[in-house]
């Protein structure tokens, strides 16, 4: 899952600022990170034997929480230092990993 960190770091310069609004930037970063993380994680959980899925999903949820907390400050800092509210709005509105990643283009 190192790809999540890599994607967030590559995407950071493209993340639009909330005109210095750290709260909106954090919302955008968390939504982006969560959507992108769960796409392959959900596939991994679905591929696991049924009796292992609940435990694996709990494990993945813990990993997501740890990764977000470890990297959120960097993302928010980058976001607030740029000025692209359209990208931030896109990232906040995204409902799928594909939509979130499309915000970076």
pLDDT, tens digit, for every residue of 2-55? 555 545 555 555 444 335 689 999 999 999 999 999 999 999 999 999 999 999
Given this model, what pLDDT does residue 17 score? 37
14 or 59: whose pLDDT is higher? 59
**Could you tell me the pTM of the whole model?**
0.79
Given this model, what pLDDT does residue 69 score? 95
Given this model, what pLDDT does residue 24 score? 94
Neighbours of 50 (CB within 10 A): 7
Cα gap 25→12, rounded to integer Å = 11
Whether residue 63 has pLDDT greater than 50: yes
Could you state, in order of their start, the residue ranges of all structural domains in the chain? 2-102
């Amino acid at each position: 899952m190192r790809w999540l960190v890599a994607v967030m770091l590559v995407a950071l310069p493209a993340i639009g600022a909330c005109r210095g609004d750290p709260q909106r930037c954090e919302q955008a970063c968390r939504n982006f990170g969560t959507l992108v993380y769960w796409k392959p994680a959900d596939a991994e959980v679905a591929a696991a034997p049924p009796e292992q899925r609940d435990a694996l999903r709990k494990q993945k949820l813990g990993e997501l929480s740890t990764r977000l907390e470890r990297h959120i400050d960097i993302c928010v800092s980058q976001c607030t230092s740029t000025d692209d509210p359209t990208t931030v709005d896109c990232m906040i509105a995204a409902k799928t990993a594909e939509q979130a990643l499309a915000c970076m283009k």
